C-alpha cells in the first residue's frame, strides 16, 4: 500500500490504554486526505493535539 494513512486517538480501553482509529487514503491523494483527517480531528476535539508524523 502506497497511500497516505493517519491514526487518531478515539477512546480509552478498559486497561486505560489509548484506542485509535486508522484512516487510509488513496494513492497520490495526500493533500485531500490530510485535509479530511484534519476535519475529523477537529470534530473529535483533537485539533491542537494531533501532529503529523
Residue 23 pLDDT: 93
Q: What is the mean pLDDT of residues 49-53?
A: 57
Which band of pLDDT confidence, cut at 50, 70 and 90, is reported for residue 46? confident
pLDDT reading at 24 higher than 90: yes
The CA-atom distances, in angstroms, between 41 and each of 1, 2, 18 are 23, 22, 15
Give long-range contacts, CB 8 A cutoff, 24+ apart: 27-34: 27/2, 27/3, 28/3, 29/3, 29/4, 30/4, 33/3, 33/4, 33/6, 34/4, 34/6
Give the residue extent of every domain in the chain: 5-46
Reported as type and span, the H/E element at residue 10 is strand 5-12
Amino acid at each position: 500500500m502506497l497511500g497516505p494513512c493517519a491514526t487518531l486517538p478515539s477512546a480509552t480501553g478498559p486497561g486505560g490504554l489509548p484506542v485509535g482509529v486508522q484512516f487510509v487514503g488513496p494513492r497520490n491523494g495526500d493533500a485531500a486526505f490530510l485535509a479530511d483527517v484534519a476535519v475529523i480531528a477537529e470534530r473529535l476535539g483533537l485539533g491542537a493535539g494531533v501532529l503529523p508524523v
